[in-house]
Amino acid sequence: MKDSEKRARIARVNAALKELYPDAECALTWGGDDPWRLLVMARLSAQCTDARVNLTAGPLFDRFPDATAMAAAEVSEVEPYVKSCGLYRRKAEDLVLSSRMLLDRFGGRVPDTMDDLLSLPGVGRKIANLLLGDVFGQGGIVTDTHCIRICGRLGFYPEKEKNPYKIERILLGLIDPAEGPAFCHRIVWFGREVCRAQNPACATCPLAARGLCERRARETKAKGARKNG
């Protein structure tokens, strides 16, 4: 597809996803009040399900309710609270060190620029874009596993492309950046309910039914060719 065709397709995909998921909410239930909590939960979500992070967050925030409390903790105190999320030693260290940096460099507030966010331990572009979009209203693309997998299947780039930064740049060239955060949230829900990594529901997929899935169209064409051959 030409870029113009991709832009037209992603606009139709976005419109269809809005119908399916009118309320585009982050799967991490951080409460919407303290951005530090979203930062913490996003860090815990690496190689861990959002559902597990949501369960972990309650006891964790009861014990460490804000950046000040976390910064005052020893890493060993935090580890038991995040152990169920995997990679717990590294995650606990990142949470403590990033909280201390917030107090030392940013007055205890989560910064609102990409460069400042990337200076925090454990924060990469995925977490930074999530915070910039959900907290500060800045456009961006959160290239999580759902986004990478599904947008490749839809035909916006080769499915073999897995580089998050490259995919972020590709998608930013196709969709209005202001639509990016909500689009990515909807992709996550769509990936869980329909376009799963294993056993995707292609036969009942509302995007495939509208001719918006490149992989499905390719598979259907190949199946027809085999049948006719």
Tell me which residues are annotated as active site: 126, 144
Return d(Cα 183, Cα 179) in angstroms, integer: 6
125 and 89 fall within a common domain: yes
91 and 176 fall within a common domain: no
**pLDDT for the residue 221:** 80
The conformational region for residue 137 under phi > 0 = left, psi -120 to 50 = alpha, else beta, is left
**pLDDT for the residue 24:** 83
57 and 117 fall within a common domain: yes
Tokens 């030392």 -> residue: 104
Structural domain includes residue 165: yes
130 and 146 fall within a common domain: no
**pLDDT for the residue 225:** 63
**Residue that terminates a domain, selected from 134, 155, 174:** 134
Mean residue pLDDT across the chain: 94
Structural domain includes residue 205: yes
158 and 180 fall within a common domain: yes
Structural domain includes residue 105: yes
Task: Output b/e per residue, 103-128; b: 16+ Cβ within 10 A.
Answer: eeebeeebbeebeebeebebbbbbbb
Domain total of the chain: 2
56 and 20 fall within a common domain: no
78 residue type, one letter: V
Domain span holding position 165 = 3-24+142-228
58 contacts 30 by C-beta, under 8 angstroms: no
**Of 89, 58, 57, the residue nearest 74 (C-alpha):** 89
53 contacts 83 by C-beta, under 8 angstroms: no
151 and 182 fall within a common domain: yes
**Cα 172 from chain centroid (whole Å):** 15
15 and 63 fall within a common domain: no
50 and 129 fall within a common domain: yes
pLDDT along the chain (229 residues), means of 10: 94 97 92 96 95 97 98 98 97 98 97 98 96 93 95 96 96 93 95 94 95 91 68
174 contacts 3 by C-beta, under 8 angstroms: yes
**Residue that terminates a domain, selected from 83, 104, 134:** 134
Structural domain includes residue 62: yes
**Residue that terminates a domain, selected from 81, 111, 134:** 134
**pLDDT for the residue 223:** 73
